[in-house]
Structure 1
Amino acid sequence: MTRFEQFECDDVRALIETYPLAWVCGSSSANMEASLLPLVGVYGDDGDLVQLIGHMGRSNPLHAALVADPHATILFKGPDAYVSPEHARRRNWGPTWNYVQLKISAEIVFDPLFTETSLRVLLDAVESGRAQPWNADELGARYEGMLVQIIGFRACVTNLSGRFKLGQDEAPGTLQSILGSLPDAATVSWMRRFNAGRL
């Protein structure tokens, strides 16, 4: 395992909470279906990610694909940035790209009785902290009509891997130069997170 593949449960949680829109991909190699969907993590007592909660349109081709074969690959992407030798302040240094990614294997379980719960879970996550959080009741009569067109699901996690390439291999001086000059604030924040013991 490389240093880029070493991370903690809190890193997984932070990534999913900050970047909840993920690619959900069916397993068929002949005709793979995939959709970007917002997902909310569910965590065990030890902090491990155990489930993801989401919903999708019943007319989405991915729905039919996952009914036929519930195995899915879910891909989360965090911040990324091109890092130039200019940022490293070293002309003898090769350019690179820093990024954050998670790859999750999961079994998708659709449940029409879970649809409203899945919507509430997502709304609680994305509306939290707003001065006037929105809720589905504000749709009035339209809500019931929209509800029948979607279906909630749980994605039960069977495997998880990640790559957090954030300058852990850079010499201290080079790392400091990059942190001081890279204009992408989100990537810099994650670089600081993964190099905290060296700063």
Structure 2
Amino acid sequence: MSELFERFDGGDVRDLIAEFPLAWVCAAAGGADHASLLPLLGEYDPEGRLTHLVGHMARRNPLYAALSSAPRALVLFNGPDGYVSPAQAGLDNWAPTWNFAQLRIEAEVTFEPDRTEEALDLLAARMDDGTGWGRTMLGPRYTGMLEAIVGFRAQVTRVAGKFKLGQDERPETLRSIVARHPDPVLVRWMRRFNEERI
């Protein structure tokens, strides 16, 4: 059954990262102090495969020191998730479950101080698209802020994931869950992974 939830493609990876960009970045060598939530953007090759993650972090973050000395990282993206009750399945004898989507990405991190502004601009353009906001609006504060952070690119070496979104349910149960579940984002992803069954 586990294999059923591990079937996904490059488009699924791209869309999950775009919709849920805040990820745990963990140093492969280190403890809890060497893990941080950071917003990341994906870079893709012409075939749509994820090649790099782009981000920035505070220089004072213990993760910066850890990855500077040992650049291997595990990056964890959590996509849509939610509890699914028997009431939503429409069956009293059905066991409740939790549906979710996640990516586990192994990567080699390279800090790029000269590209910190580029990393910031990419993130602001992606998240503030259409608002007209730009870093020049910060005025002199920007220089001080820029000195406190560093941009990075992480070369992706492995992508694994699990998309447990109702693929194991009978079509009639799945239709009931999709019709009754209150989370429209989770429902949209369930529909995506079960298009031919709903």
Confirm or deny that 1:58 pairs with 2:77.
Answer: no
Cα deviations by residue, 1:43-93 (Å, 9 ceiling, x for unpaired): 001100000000000000000010011000000001111011111011111
**1:53 aligns to what SS in structure 2?**
strand
2:33/2:62 contact within 8 Å kept: no
Q: For residue 26 of structure 1, what is the aligned residue in structure 2? A: 27
**2:177 aligns to what SS in structure 1?**
helix
Matches within 5 A, 1:1-199: 2-29=3-30, 33-128=34-129, 130=130, 132-199=131-198
Aligned-residue offset at 1:133: 2.5
Q: State the TM-score, normalizing by the size of structure 2.
A: 0.97
Structure 2 gap ranges (5+): none
Q: State the TM-score, normalizing by the size of structure 1.
A: 0.96
Paired amino acid for 1:163: K
Task: Tell me how large the CA RMSD over aligned residues is.
Answer: 1.1
Aligned-residue offset at 1:145: 1.0
Write the distance in 2 (CA, Å) between the matches of 1:183 and 1:16: 23
1:50/1:157 contact within 8 Å kept: yes
**1:161 aligns to what SS in structure 2?**
strand
1:33/1:62 contact within 8 Å kept: yes
2:30/2:66 contact within 8 Å kept: no
Aligned-residue offset at 1:32: 5.3
